[in-house]
Amino acid sequence: MTLNQTNISSSASPGIKPCNNSGATFGAGLSKAHRWGVANRRTKIANITLNIISEFDAVIFDMDGVITDTASVHAAAWKKTFDAYLRSRERVFRQPFKEFTSADYLAHVDGRPRYKGVQAFLNSRGISLEFGSSGDAPGRETICGLGNQKNSLFNRLLEDGVKTFDSSIALVKNLRRHGIKVGLATSSKNGAAILSTTGTTNLFDTVVDGNVSERLGLKGKPEPDIFTAASDNMRVPYGRAVVVEDAATGVWAGIAGGFALVIGVARSNNAGELYDHGADVVVRDLAEASVDQIDRWVKARRSCGGAQPQGDPRRKGNL
């Protein structure tokens, strides 16, 4: 069985989405492009690093839900924040209480910068608040106040520790052993602290987190800025870099940036949503990926016409 937009089998060999209307699936079953037993040869052209025996030169990972098991912690902090606020509106404005759900998290918050997530969710409920400022006290009735409340709760929940996904760390280490550069791009302003806590900082050639984005004026997902910045830092062309994401907004950003391949990680049973937003491949866990497999997926993607151009990611068949 190959992956499609409605099912994932853990025993399946994930494949590239069909690039024509014939229903053919690319990726699974392709002969290996090469063996990695040979020395990994690299060359530099005009300050750009190229791996001359591979289809790609770098992989850029999202953090929450891909490298670290913190997506559930974020979701819990958001739920406590929004449910408390919605309860207060019920008391003050007599508005019927409708809880913040996992569907709300995935649709409006997941992958977005903190304040943009607050704004997107409140907009979905027809609630308009002043933006405020980043220095607003947690819980103040502004976009920033609610976002800061969420971050305060998140940091308290983190005191119980942060876990990483073993399969993701194994893939990162394997990529590095094969001379593939590895970057991390996250909307979280807690990125550096979480990597330090988990002892994984040194695994990445570059880290672009929410603090870096704020300092450089980068736009958040679904804009591709954090991924293109990571690729630029590693001196790798976007068409030679792979993006790994678990959020629909992050997948959209990867497509918008014109990257060689976008891999979706469906830990929340959201494979269909990831495909709808443009993912080329969706897996349940990164144990299903390897250096050789990613190489084959990239080659198959290129056989479908190459990496997607930069610009509007809403390709035919996608949102």
Which of 57, 62, 104, 225 is catalytic? The answer is 62
Q: How far apart are CA 58 and CA 49, in angstroms?
A: 9
- Residue type at 264? G
Q: How far apart are CA 78 and CA 153, in angstroms?
A: 8
Q: Is 57 a catalytic residue?
A: no
Six token digits for residue 200: 């994984």
For helices 143-158 and 71-93, angle between their N-to-C axes, nearest 10 degrees: 140
Q: Is 312 a catalytic residue?
A: no
Q: How far apart are CA 258 and CA 254, in angstroms?
A: 7
**Burial of 38 from C-beta contacts in 10 A (0-12 / 13-18 / 19+):** exposed
Helices (H), the chain: 71-93, 102-104, 114-124, 143-158, 166-177, 191-198, 210-216, 225-233, 248-256, 271-276, 291-303
**DSSP string covering 145-175:** HHHHHHHHHHHHHHTT---B-HHHHHHHHHH
Which of 57, 64, 110, 246 is catalytic? The answer is 64
Cβ 36 vs Cβ 178: under 8 Å: yes
**Burial of 160 from C-beta contacts in 10 A (0-12 / 13-18 / 19+):** exposed
Q: How far apart are CA 95 and CA 101, in angstroms?
A: 17
- Residue type at 252? W
Which residues carry out catalysis?
A: 62, 64
